[in-house]
Amino acid sequence: NALRHTPRAGQITVGVSQDNGKARISVCDSGDGIEAAQLPYLFDRFYRTDRARDRDSGGAGLGLAIVRALTELHNGNVFVSSRGTGHGTTFTVELPLWEDAEC
């Protein structure tokens, strides 16, 4: 989504950090941004912010719903923030860290 909604001259930053027993992965872009009224619905199945634009790119409104479902299966959370249209968006996934993880 960040690639699709960020102009060629824009910026996408991926960050990884650890805090309070959780891994935090963030994707922040300087792209289109999202209106505050739409933020609560972004993780709903089939929700699209701009149906006309997504029809051209083939978006079905399932990607973020899948991200939320997979994150919750791992006892994590996913968050979104945006200062509005034209100001970019940040998506953050938090997952619990396991002390005795075996690879």
Is the pLDDT assigned to residue 4 strictly greater than 70? yes
d(CA 66, CA 72): 10
Q: What is the token pair recorded at 9?
A: 């001259």
Cβ neighbours of residue 2 closer than 8 Å, sequence gap 6 or more = 12, 27, 29, 31, 89, 91
Range scoring the smallest mean pLDDT among 7-11, 49-53, 76-80: 49-53
Q: Which pLDDT band, with edges at 50, 70 and 90, does 58 fall under?
A: low
Separation of alpha carbons 71 and 95, rounded Å: 7
Is pLDDT of 29 > 60? yes
CATH of 2-96, one of 3.20.20.70, 3.30.565.10, 3.90.120.10, 3.40.50.2300: 3.30.565.10
The confidence score (pLDDT) of residue 53 equals 46
pTM, entire model: 0.81
What is the C-alpha to C-alpha distance for residues 18 and 25, in angstroms, rounded to an integer? 9
Q: Where are the domains of the chain?
A: 2-96
